[in-house]
Structure 1
Amino acid sequence: MATLHVLSHSPFADTRLDSCLSLMGPSDGVLLCGDATYALIPPATRILEKQVFALDEDIKARNLQVPHGVACVDYAGFVELSLRFDRVNTWL
């Protein structure tokens, strides 16, 4: 079953992102929102090996560049992703 992992905390504050990446299966995806979008700052190599989505509003609010292979979504896209994947796991 494919899981969408939703992260909103800074990757520099704790190890949630690393834990998430180590548990992700080949059909899983990760949605970065809030301060989790800082995970896209170079060198963002490990996360770019996964299926990555980022909330466009949070990317713009932080004036970040979106690396190749990362799909930006709006809130409607967030809802579509939550329906596309079998499960949604929010890393609180």
Structure 2
Amino acid sequence: MFETADLLLTPVTPGPPHGHDGPGTRINTSLTWAFNLSGHPAISIPAGFDSCGLPVGLQAVARHGREADLVAAARLISTAVEVAPWPP
């Protein structure tokens, strides 16, 4: 994939976060594990809140050895995404 793309953007998780009591019957595996295993540099960027007021994260992943590209992209994304204040 990185032969044709410099950066990969994914959600951090495929669903909403669970509370302090744990996931219960909901299975919600983080989408970060593949990049932990492959050694690709990755970062989670706050991307606002869903309709229930739960936080949403955007994961950016870069090519091996391209950490500077990743940091630059994270800065750009974090200034472009308007994160609303915590819901009342």
Q: TM-score, normalised by structure 1?
A: 0.30
Name the structure with the higher helix share. 1
From the CA coordinates, give the structure whose radius of gyration is larger: 2
Higher-RCO chain (CA-CA 8 Å, sequence separation at least 6) = 1
